[in-house]
Amino acid sequence: MNGFTTRAVHGPKLRKDPLGALRPPLYESVAFEFDSAEDIEDAFTGKKPGHTYSRITNPTVEELEQRIRLLTYANGVIAVSSGMAAIADTVMSLAEPGSNIVTSEHLFSHTLSLFTSTLGPWGLHTRFADMTNPFSVKEKIDENTRLIFLETITNPQLEVADVAAIVEVAKEFNIPVVVDGTMTTPYLFSSKQAGAAVEIISSTKFLSGGATTVGGLIIDNGTFDWSNAPTLIDFTKKFGSNAFLARLRKEVYRNLGSCLSPHNAWLQILGIETLALRVSKCCQNALTLAQFLASREEVVHVNYPGLSSSPSHITASRQLSHGFGGILTFDLGSKEAAYRCINNLRLIRRATNLNDNKTLIIHPASTIFHEFSPERRERMGITEGLIRLSVGIEESDDLLHDISQGLETP
Amino acid sequence: MSTMPVYSTLEGNLMQITVNGEPAQIQQSPFPVEAALRHFKVEQPDMVSVQVNGSFIERPAFSTTLLSEGDELDFLYFMGGGSR
């Protein structure tokens, strides 16, 4: 069972359904019964497998975790309530007050806010480096650095860093690389092959199969020796290579209540079965739209890793398979022009999200990055004329028609 | 945990160990950890951490780590749950 979609559709076959159902059941149950006091003790103390309470584990959520594990060949996966929960749980498991992380300013705004505004007062120091320059990353690392964090395709700069090169830098200091692979998914990019220790995915996006549900994934690739992580020393003694997963499940994830609802897990299992098909179509459409926009006089600049004009095109071509993602940006020179185009559209939806089945459009400066000063937005490449498109699976002719009339209507 | 079945019917060809704190008997060495997972019918073996005498055993070493008389073998489900 080697094919990506074959694995996604059939899953690991954790257990035979007692009624022969082909689709895994939805276990919407908070608690689970045991046959004896000894049995429930064994489940609590980890001597036997058993679901005790759905904030900690749940059979339907387990099914999702094991499907992702099969798709990524990971050591283990924990499904959580959102991508942000995945990032927060991971950082709080690997860092401690007084320590630092090295990351880029080219991040989703809420991730930046988590690191600086939420975890800053907790005691986390955030150091910024240019992820496209490994030397810049190396200069920021010291004995208190606990991890390097980067997005596989940044939002909305669409910058693609060489993950393997960053991993080589990290190896010199025995620190893990954590990648946010939301924009690429395991279909376009294997973080394990690149050597990343952990991959975070917002399963809200591509994986949910049509923006049905919010969720997140923490994927331990099994590529990092956790005995090098100062926060995992005790867990390494007991659980070895499973130390990171164990600390999450038995402490950080458990205590922060980051659980994914079984209902969300069930829908996301359905979503991942068509992941490859949808991602492929989104990538084809995004390239078609990017090439069209690049030919238009009204458009000052188009950015898409699939275009040879993109500064990240060479790295993306080497690092990604099957396509360059479903997000592109274009600049119309001014906020007024951007708003006029957005308001003229009749098919493409004005909404914030990434990788829905529908194509979505947003003006980043006035929405997802409105909390930042104009100067900081300019530094992050978020201009007043910038528009972000999350390209869906519609027929490309329909999308081209809508964009054309959006640009042409006065 | 209930008493584990004796692995071999040959008299005197057994050794005593403990499994999750409970006494158990297994065939004399060589008896690798990998065989112990099958012998004790450990559910979901890929979700289990294994310790021998308090030391964690990495998965690739399951087939080469041999148990000895008096060893303390512990199986711990690090994911905190699993199917029943």
Task: Check A238 against B47: CB less than 8 A apart.
Answer: no
What was the pLDDT predicted at A197? 98
What was the pLDDT predicted at B82? 32
Q: Taking 80 as the threshold, does the pLDDT of residue B81 lie above it?
A: no
* Whether the predicted interface score ipTM is above 0.90: no
Query: Is pTM, for the whole model, over 0.90?
Result: yes
Report the gap between the CA of B20 and the closest CA in chain A (Å).
7
Rg of chain B taking only CA atoms, in angstroms: 12
**What is the tens place of the pLDDT at every residue in B43-63?**
888 778 899 998 889 888 999
How many angstroms separate the CA atoms of A374 and A380, rounded?
10
Task: Check B56 against A249: CB less than 8 A apart.
Answer: no
How many angstroms separate the CA atoms of A204 and A354, rounded?
8
pLDDT mean values, one per 10 residues, chain A (410 residues): 91 83 94 94 86 93 94 96 98 98 94 96 97 97 98 95 98 98 98 98 95 96 96 91 93 95 97 98 98 97 98 98 98 96 97 95 94 88 95 98 92
How many angstroms separate the CA atoms of A211 and A207, rounded?
8
Residues of B with Cβ-Cβ distance to A43 under 8 angstroms: 81
Burial-class residue A252 by CB neighbours within 10 Å (0-12, 13-18, 19+).
buried
What was the pLDDT predicted at B12? 61
- The pair of structure tokens assigned to B7 is 């692995």
**Which band of pLDDT confidence, cut at 50, 70 and 90, is reported for residue B10?**
very low
Instruction: Map residue A393 onto helix, strand or coil.
Output: coil
What was the pLDDT predicted at A190? 98
Name the closest residue on chain A to residue B73, using Cα atoms.
A47
A237, containing H or E segment: helix A233-239
Burial-class residue A140 by CB neighbours within 10 Å (0-12, 13-18, 19+).
middle
